[in-house]
């Protein structure tokens, strides 16, 4: 890349919320290099739950790996435990990929009861032995390594977020860590569930992902990981649109590919 930008909380916030006006003269120049968000691939093929290597950046080891790969931000997954009592960082609907019997995340307590989530460890993949982290602890770690946090609230959380009995407590557990840290570090949120996304827009309008972290890969993820070169046509197409930031399963290869293509 033509130059390396040191990301601080202040500068990241500016980069993520502003864009320069393009003049005819500027249009001929190479695009500004987008910020890179690392994404941990999940197989999109039959047998995915068995092949999944738990690559998502939901723990400090994965976050540090993304940073070493050249990512300036990381996408991670938020879920809620039983009755919305704890916001936790985990991708899968169940404990598939964790030690202990398989259970739905929404059926487990955080630290009490048989098979509680806090006592489990990742059972396979590059981050084997890592534990499950709370949203608050994860945000603190991401801030400590000066990265941008992008949080997907998983659709499974709707069950408790919309519950008459537990909604208030669940939203406190999800929202309070965001409110505590939104002035201390760059944070963005989104959900693929329309109801949750609408609620996030009402409760955290300044944190919405919007057009940031635009998905740039075309290769469908699998295990073992497919080669990255099949992405280059789409990478080029997206770069021509001059995105502020992109998201990829291949942050290291994308950063190398960018060299000489942007400023």
pLDDT at residue 20 greater than cutoff 50: no
| pTM summary value | 0.89
Q: Enumerate the H helices of 102-161 as residue ranges.
A: 135-144, 158-161
pLDDT tens track for 37-82: 999 999 988 889 999 999 999 999 999 999 999 999 999 999 999 9
pLDDT tens track for 117-132: 999 999 999 999 999 9
The structural domains of the chain, ordered by start, are 9-258 (3.20.20.190)
> Dmax of the chain from CA atoms?
65
Phi, psi of 236 (to 5 degrees): -65, -40
Phi, psi of 61 (to 5 degrees): -60, -40
Task: Evaluate whether 60 touches 131 at the Cβ level (below 8 Å).
Answer: no
Residue 214 to residues 44, 140, 148, 224, 234, Cα–Cα distance (Å)? 19, 24, 14, 24, 12
Residue 87, beta-bridge partner list: 80
Which bin fits 79, alpha (ψ -120 to 50), beta or left (φ > 0)?
beta
Q: What is the CA radius of gyration of the chain?
A: 19
């Amino acid at each position: 890349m033509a130059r390396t930008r040191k990301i601080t909380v202040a500068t990241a916030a500016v980069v993520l919320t502003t864009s320069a006006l393009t003049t005819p003269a500027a249009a001929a120049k190479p695009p500004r290099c987008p910020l890179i968000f690392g994404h941990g691939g999940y197989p999109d093929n039959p047998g995915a739950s068995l092949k999944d290597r738990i690559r998502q950046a939901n723990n400090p080891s994965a976050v540090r790996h993304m940073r070493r790969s050249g990512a300036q931000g990381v996408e991670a997954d938020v879920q809620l435990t039983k009755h919305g009592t704890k916001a936790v960082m985990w991708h899968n609907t169940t404990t598939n990929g964790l030690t202990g019997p398989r259970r739905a995340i929404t059926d487990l307590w955080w630290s009490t009861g048989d098979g509680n989530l806090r006592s489990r460890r990742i059972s396979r993949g590059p981050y084997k032995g890592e534990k499950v982290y709370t949203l608050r602890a994860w945000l603190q770690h991401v801030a400590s390594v000066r990265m941008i946090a992008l949080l997907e609230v998983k659709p499974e959380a709707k069950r408790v977020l919309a519950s008459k009995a537990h909604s208030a407590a669940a939203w406190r557990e999800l929202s309070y860590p965001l409110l505590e840290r939104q002035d201390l570090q760059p944070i963005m949120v989104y959900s693929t569930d329309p109801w949750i996304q609408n609620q996030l827009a009402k409760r955290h309008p300044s944190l919405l992902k919007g057009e940031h972290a635009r998905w740039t890969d075309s290769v469908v993820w699998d295990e073992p990981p497919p080669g990255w070169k099949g992405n280059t046509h789409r990478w080029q197409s997206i770069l021509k649109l001059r995105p502020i930031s992109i998201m990829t399963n291949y942050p290291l290869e994308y950063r190398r590919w960018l060299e000489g293509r942007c400023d």
